[in-house]
Each structure stands twice: as structure tokens, then as C-alpha cells.
Amino acid sequence: MDTKMYNMWLQYDSINNQTLREQYTEFFSKVRLIGNSEIFDSIKEELEIAVDKMLQQKVGWTASDDAKIVIANSSDWNIKAVEGLNEEGYTIVSNGNQLKIIGNSDRGALYGVFHLLRMMQMQESITTLSIKEQPTNPFRMINQWDNLDGSVERGYSGNSIFYENGKIVEDKTRIKDYARFLSSVGINAISINNVNVWEEETYFITKKYLPEIAEIASIFRGYGLQLYLSINFASPIAIGDLETADPLDGSVKNWWKDKVREIYDFIPDFGGFVVKADSEHRPGPFSYDRDHADGSNMLAEALEPFDGKVIWRCFVYNCLQDWRDRSTDRARAAYDHFKPLDGRFHSNVILQIKNGPMDFQVREPVSPLIGAMSETNQMMELQIAQEYTGHQIDLCYLIPQWKEVFSFDTYIQGEGSTIEKIVAGQIHPYRHSGVVAVSNIGNDENWTGHTLAQANLYGFGRLAWNPSLESETIAKEWLKQTFPQNNDVEQTILDMLMSSWPIYENYNAPLGVGWMVTTHLHYGPSIDGYEYSRWGTYHFADRDGMGVDRTKETGTGYTEQYEEPNRSMYNNLDTCPDELLLFFHHVPYKHTLKSGKTVIQHIYDTHFEGYEQVLGLQKKWDQLERVLDEERFNNVKERLERQRLNAREWRDQINTYFYRKSGIADEKNRTIY
């Protein structure tokens, strides 16, 4: 398949600028590769694809010293590693006569090649370059939530590219293309099955599936990605002959050691396990009166001889708790479960912590657990899939949200202890750290359902590589590589992307309260209907006010999990940021925000405004009809119309609910149904 929708940001459109075309043509007339590996095979193939499409010529491969482009692993070329750069780093240097891409590893050389191709797609000169690059985060990982039946949990882009009808796909071409896309933005690890591991998927770690999974691992290996598998903690019972999965039981430990040895026989560079345990009905060590350290360490010991890792998710809470009890707070759960265990986890265990304390809401504070454990490896989990931000039907460019998370100062070791530095391993001496995200791709022709949602996948990779990149910079990169180079196209879509998160927040749940979504589906409003709120609501709205009291004095005490000055800032009604007010405080509807509006008027205004803003997005997009290809234009046009209907429903249901609940009229006398 070779369409504009399918190719995402690796369009490799023909270069029409004659000066640049001649420049690129000259360089690619003589190209020397110094390296011999699966990754160098991928480099060669990618260059042949790109040069053929951009320049309509063949790469002039040579072994001569007078090559115009030299691509090498520093060790293969018998030169010193690039000083000051880590193993994945690279340098690109050119003087007009010769261009050199030198990586400190094969993977580094591959990233350098994709950097060069990115510059060419953006139509930049490559005659005089002096570039040194390395990733900020050691782990830059994607989690697939794909199931063997071909479905994707929280997937909004068709079915799985890995599985169909209870089998691993035979044609793995699309998997290879996915590897290309991920590698081009620096992703270096991937787990390929759902963290909720159900019946048949438990057998992925057996000979029944390992030969085919090894094929997939080989594909990703060629693009610098290490493969992981999600596992069922109760596997010794489910697929073994044991009656227990107790992590301290000797027979269970031996079972896992044998199982791990078998996996590495098939996949010598296997990354390790991703584990969701004791959450949302998944089995775990709690069944045996053990804790998370006991459970993860048992697996870590089995993986350690092979340099394997255990990535243990901290999304652990009691989904059956009684929400009417206001002392019970889901937001506290991860910190309460894991903070006391700091220092007990093995060095090859990494705790995977969601960016917020709840569950990828359109607005929530940063999880206080990130950085709170100085002796335990941590990585932060983001969600590219728009589970609570529009299902890739509604436009929501997530990079600005993630930038706010990265820049948040935890004060864990005083001022400057930002999330960016913590997950990069610069605050605590973590042996392993980084960023992981839930994927948003499926087998839709354009991969992501909404063509503009491709920007979130691209943006995650670039931000994981370098969190200091600006949201607008990332968006411009993606636009220049994805769409025709046209100032009107670029500026229009850039404006749409950069305004999309605030627009979605305007017609969604207000002021950080979250959760007003339909049961299970999580799309569209249901103010009291979230599935785990059947004993009460998350927002605690009554006739007098709304919001969740998480203060030390009268609430759940959640604010105490933060370091000062954040603790006092959130705890104090006067200093709590408006955008998170209802997450931390229960206030009257007539409470005055820092904007000067009351809470109830803010709700009315933002929901009316959000709908009007969606109409504005539609008008902007319609202006591009004559300059864009028909399939991508129509795809986005159809999604924006569905977003309009969703925004209208949110506007009408939210405003009606709170008008009836509060009895307070809209100051502007707009119609509320």
C-alpha cells in the first residue's frame, strides 16, 4: 500500500526545489555504508526507498574512500566513539564535499540517517552541518493493547496489525512499516500485546506462539526496537501444572526461570515482561498476601541472567471501592501502594507510572509518585490513544498537555526537580528510566483513524527523544513531512492542532473534575455514568456545589502526597490553579475563579464556546479542500463533523445538568435545554 494516508510522515515527496534537488543528488551519487547488521540492512533499504521517491534516482553505493556520504558505527570504522554522546547518539557533519553520519552504535547510525531524511523532507540544506544528537530518555517505549482476536483495547483505528481471528498475522509487511515509523522518531522498545492478558494470550510465552513472535522480534530488531511481552501473573496456574502463583514459592520461581530460558532460546535479545497485577480483576501477588516488590522481584530474578527487565505497572486501585465514602480516593492509590516499598525492588524492575493519578483525563495533576521513590527505577506512562480525549474522532493534539507534565517541578530534591529530569534519570540514580505510551494505531488505511491524530504518535517519539522540543516545533516538523509544502496548509493545520486541546477541554469535564463519560465506551457525556461510579459520582455535585475535597483538613488528604510548595498550593483554595480547582476542592457554584467568573458561569461559557470553536475548526479545514488530496481532506472533514455532534451533546448535557442541579441561570440568557 502506498498512499498519502498510509505513509504518514514518511511521504518522501519529490523534491521540486531545483537547488536542493541538485545538492541532494550530488551527495547520493556516492554513498558508503560501514557496518554489517540487520540495522544496516534497514538503513540501506530506507535510503533506497527515500532517494527513489524524492529524487527519482538510485543510490550510488560505493566502498570508496571518496564517498560523498559515509554512514558508520564508530566502532566498525575503528574511530573513537563520539565524545559526550551515549550509545544511541550520533553526529552528522558535512563540509560541502562529504557528509558523515557516525553513530556510537548501529542504532545511533540509524537515527542519524532518519535525521538526515527528516531534513531533506523539510527541504533544508545539508551542505554545511555540525549536528550532535542523543536521546534524553534511555527508554522510549510503545505499549500495544492488541488482543489475539484482532481487537484493540481502547483502539480507535480499526483492528490490530499484529493479530486477526485468533492468530498472528501471516503477512507482516505492515508490522515492518510500523517499525520504520517508530524508528524514525527514536522509539527503541515495544510490547506487542494487551496489558490485560486474557486466556489464549497467556500462551504467548510458550512454543505455541514463540516462533512467530520471534519473527516479529526480528523485524523490530532491524529498526532498533527491543520486543517485550505482557504476561499473566497467574501463568504458572493458567498454562503450567502448578496450583499456585505465589511469588515466594520455590516451584513458582523455578517455573518462571524455565519459562524465561525458553523465551530467550527463541528471542536472544528479548526485552522482558510488562505486568499489570492486582488491578481491575487481574491476578497478582495480593492473592498470596505478598506485595508488589515480592511479585516483581520473582520475575526479575528469572530475567536477570539475560539482562531482561520487568516493567511493573502502578495502575493499581480497588475498582470496587465505595465512592460514597469520601475518605476513599482512587487518586491516592498508586502512591499509597508503592511509596512504602521504595528500595525493595530489584535493579532490573522498572515501575511504570501514569502521568496523572487517575487515568489519562483531559486535565489532571501530575502523579506525585513520579520521583517520590529515589531507590526504584521509574518510567512515565502516557496515552497516545485518545481514550478520554475524543477517540481519534475529535481533534486533540496532545503534545502541549505532555509538555506541561514534563515541565512540572516536583521539588523532590528542591527547585528544578522536574518530571523531565526525573524520568531521564537525572534526579535519582536510576539504572533504567524513560517514557512509555499506549499506542494509537490500527489497521485503518491511515493508521490512526483521524489523519491528524498521526501528529500525536510522531510527537510522542520526538518528545521522548527530546522533551525540550516545543509543541509548535514538533507540529511543524510533522506537517512539513506529511502534507504538501504550502504556507496556507501549514499555518491552517498548525492553528488547528495548537488550539485543539483547549477546545476539547472547553466542552468536556470542567476545571479538572474529569470522568463525565459514558460507561465503558468513554466517548460522549454521561455526567453520573462512569462505570466505577455506580455507588456515587466522581464529581460529588449537589444543589450547592461540586468538586472533590482532597485537602488535608477536611478531605482525603491526597494533597499531602506532594512536596512543598506544591502541597500547600493545591491544598489552599486561594492558590490552587483554576484548571484543577474541582480536582482538589469542593466549592459552591458561585465560587469566584481567578478569571473573575463564577464556577457555574465558567461551565456555561466554556461549553458554549467549545461548540463554537469546533465550528471554527470546520471552517478552517474547508478552506484547504482545493490544495489537499481528496482522501485525507475527506477523512478529516468527516471526523470534524462527528466532533461537532459530540461537542453539541457535551454542551447541552453538561449545561442542562448543572442548571437543573444548581438552579442558577446563565448570565447571558442563552438557551439551556
Expressed in angstroms, the distance from the first to the final Cα of the chain is: 48
The rounded distance, in Å, linking the Cα atoms of 288 and 456 is 41
Of 201, 304, 387, 444, catalytic: 387
Q: Kind of pairing, strands 163-164 and 128-133?
A: unpaired
Is 280 a known active-site residue?
Answer: yes
Of 212, 249, 269, 280, catalytic: 280
Residue among 119, 121, 72 nearest 100 (CA): 72
C-alpha cell recorded at residue 78: 575503528
- Hey, what's the torsion of the CAs at 419, 187, 430, 357, to 10 degrees? 40
Q: Do residues 622 and 637 lie in contact, with contact meaning Cβ atoms separated by under 8 Å?
A: yes
The rounded distance, in Å, linking the Cα atoms of 514 and 137 is 30
The rounded distance, in Å, linking the Cα atoms of 673 and 518 is 20
Is 387 a known active-site residue?
Answer: yes
C-alpha cell recorded at residue 515: 470522568
C-alpha cell recorded at residue 4: 498519502
Of 38, 342, 359, 652, catalytic: 359
Q: Do residues 9 and 481 lie in contact, with contact meaning Cβ atoms separated by under 8 Å?
A: yes
The rounded distance, in Å, linking the Cα atoms of 447 and 178 is 9
Q: Angle at Cα 591 formed by Cα 403 and Cα 648, nearest 5°?
A: 60
AA letter at 141: M
By the 10 Å C-beta count (0-12 exposed, 13-18 middle, 19+ buried), 468 is classed as exposed
- For residue 508, give the H/E element and its range: none
The rounded distance, in Å, linking the Cα atoms of 258 and 270 is 15
C-alpha cell recorded at residue 372: 517520590
Which residues is 349 bridged to in the sheet?
A: 310
**Per-residue DSSP letter, 152:** B
Which residues is 91 bridged to in the sheet?
A: 102, 132
Is 579 a known active-site residue?
Answer: no
Q: How many helices (H) and strands (E) does the chain have?
A: 18, 17
Catalytic positions are 280, 359, 387
